[in-house]
Chains A and B, each alone.
Chain A
Amino acid sequence: GAGVSQSPSNKVTEKGKDVELRCDPISGHTALYWYRQSLGQGLEFLIYFQGNSAPDKSGLPSDRFSAERTGGSVSTLTIQRTQQEDSAVYLCASSIPGTSGIDNEQFFGPGTRLTVL
């Protein structure tokens, strides 16, 4: 079946502009995660959704970052007034309890590479 998809795959923007990144999780997956990965670094947790609610927003770096999820499916991550330090790959993952007997296996999308000039 279809995996997690993200769009755009690449985004180049100018400092100060707003950007929206989209994630389409696997159908039926109730949990959705956003991560950020800078070049050569590990994954930095940003936010977690269970259904449409976000019980944990603790990873959002600043109030310029926000995310929403509608209909328990698509999620958008919005970065306002982008800065050069926002440049990174933004990864989305989804999961569903009890998949194949594995606890919380996360399925990742290909990521969106954001470059802020």
Chain B
Amino acid sequence: LAKTTQPISMDSYEGQEVNITCSHNNIATNDYITWYQQFPSQGPRFIIQGYKTKVTNEVASLFIPADRKSSTLSLPRVSLSDTAVYYCLVGSESSASKIIFGSGTRLSIRP
């Protein structure tokens, strides 16, 4: 089973860039790295996914070093509405049932 480790919580302020790092030392060759965001009383929702190097979309960037044993989710210029729990997952369609969400990182944004 692909296991991930990420900080339990982080605090930041509006307008700052927030970087959340996830460790996944036993990532498999076919595994993708995926991040989800969860607001209170809602199900998680997909943010971004990558396999290697850097991926950027309208919400975030994902940085993955060459060894793929870690990844960093970068949220530019956060706002209060970015306060949520962020989950890092590794896995693939072929191992769909083995994807573990873990406890996530609780991000709190202050004014």
Contact = CB atoms under 8 A, between A and B. Distances in A.
B39 to A, nearest CB: 11
Interface string A34-51: 010000011101001010
Contacts of B81: none
Interface string A86-117: 00000101010100001111111111000000
A29 to B, nearest CB: 12
Nearest to A6: B43
Interface residues of A, number: 27
A103 B49 contact: yes
B4 to A, nearest CB: 11
Counting chain B residues whose Cβ lies within 8 A of the other chain, the interface size class is: 20 to 34
Interface stretch (B19-27, B58-66, B87-95): B87-95
Contact of A35 (B92, B93, B98, B101): B101
21 contacts: A4-B43, A31-B96, A35-B101, A43-B87, A43-B102, A45-B100, A50-B96, A55-B97, A91-B43, A97-B93, A103-B34, A103-B92, A104-B91, A104-B92, A104-B96, A104-B99, A105-B46, A106-B36, A110-B42, A111-B41, A111-B43
